[in-house]
Structure 1
Amino acid sequence: MILVIGFVSVEVVCEKCSAGEENEQEMDPKLTEVSQFFDQFKAAFLRNDYDSSSNLLSQLKVLLTGFRSLPPLFEDTPNAVQELTIARDIYEHAVVLSVKTEDQDDFERNFFQLKPYYTDACSRLPPSPQEYPILGLNLLRLLVQNRIAEFHMELELLSSSALENPCIKHAVELEQSFMEGAYNRVLSACQTVPHETYVYFMDLLAKTVRHEIAGCSEKEYGSLPIKDARKTLRFSSDKELFEYIKEEHPEWEIKNGLVFFQKAKESAPCKEIPSLQLINQTLSYARELERIV
């Protein structure tokens, strides 16, 4: 009986010791500091204070360099999972922040810092609910920047299940429509986005597509009724059409209910190719070569 009690008491002491060790791990000063800064970042982000968010993000990235469990080292530290999780969360927020600030270069930097957490660290972390929306967002960025080869390279890296995700499928269908010249489908898709963060790049894509349609309209038509021009360019109101013309095509003229397009510049007259002279020169060169041989 005494031995049993003694054994139980030892077990209790050991459990307390292990619990104390876990608490020490959880209370790691570096991890605590990063968590506190991240809370401040998220608070600033939620109130749309992007200047403060950017400053805090810079400090967070410096603090993250103190974690040896993060890429590219991936050391198996006591708090590795917690460190990897919070770092992934920070970089996901950084990507979204770059969209909010409309900084495409910053988006690319943050995305490539985040990507190893989706690929190399995926076996050590539970899936992130933001992974597919962000991967789809990157595909959309590549499409907007007309980096089609990289677009398809990124697609090749995705699993079959990822390709079925609505965010990924949305980007793929946009690329197909854009390559086919089905601009109306592209503009229709711009009005329905699978994620709120897509609005910025979709607006840029819509602007690119309208530029293409405008160029075709200038070559095909001398003028169009305002109603038809609005429909062709996929605007929902005359006001939107007028603002677009004022900002993008001030050379167009609106008069008597019509939109008069800029006349395509006449191509320079083609110079006649002196074919007979070229034939004679060619025959002369052939005779000279024959003599040499």
Structure 2
Amino acid sequence: MNKTKTPALFDRHIHGGYGVDFNNCSSDDVEKLCSILPKHGLGAICPTVMTDDKEQITNQIDIISKARKKLKKGDTQIFGIHLEGPFINPQKKGIHPEDKILKPTVKNFQKIVPPSLESEIKIVTLAPELDENLELTKYLKSKNITVSAGHTMSDGKELDQIKEVTHFFNAMPALHHRNLNITSKSLMDNNIFLEVIADNFHIASDMLKMILKLKSKEKIIFISDALSAAYSNQEKIIFAGEEIYIKENTARDKEGTIAGATKYLDEIIRLNTKTGLISFDEGIQFCSQNVYKSLGADMPETYIEWDKDCFVTSAHINSLNL
């Protein structure tokens, strides 16, 4: 492959990088990170704020909102915020602090996201089985906020209302040969988008092969789930109030629970094309076109250029028309 021009990448699930944590950062931190990310080919991101104190979540939404409005042409643009939690199932909390998890109700959502900031939220990950009568799900959809099932023990019956799954295979029930659940149902249902962390750590390569074989290519979304430690040379960070240890591009707490990732989408494309799991064109589809489709948004006129070794050489990014 010689120098190739493609749409810019869009990471809808990213917690930070270069030492910046979207759960605990300033507006200047966000702006600085967004000025760096174009070298990774990222045209847009959804900064992802995870389970935390209610006041801290509100504060970070406000900070990210202010930063979004100050971004310059050429910076990676903020499409909107991905709220991952606190409306999750404690049985599949992963690294999320259990004492800060809330029941998914409209009232609890409004305690965290005041009306003035509601338009900043574009995705909410929640456990649908805990959302009584899907009250919160229906409310969010009425506000044009995408609902994604994650950190869940759902049997999958809510998939007629929820059309997306957060970091597929992670923090959800295992596949079972007799008992169907959200994992098996969403894998086989080509109306459902799947977020996938294809870093060869969160999902074994043979399991990724299975996803690619069974799932429509139009419904696969690659995400980074990258932490502040990504590209920062840090060996230890504080995330979700816990010490997280970074070793050989993996991030775990002291008990060994996976805490997140350290690779951005350009590196994920490079990894999976070199191993032959995907074609380069599929990588772009999973990291760009499919992401915009999942959020019902038009592709912006942004593009990046790659060299023959699948490294980004330039980025041409315009402001998003939101």
What's the TM-score once normalised by structure 2's chain length?
0.27
Higher helix share: 1
Q: Identify, as 1 or 2, the structure richer in strand.
A: 2
Larger radius of gyration: 1
Greater relative CO (CA pairs within 8 A, separation 6+): 2
- What's the TM-score, normalizing by structure 1? 0.29
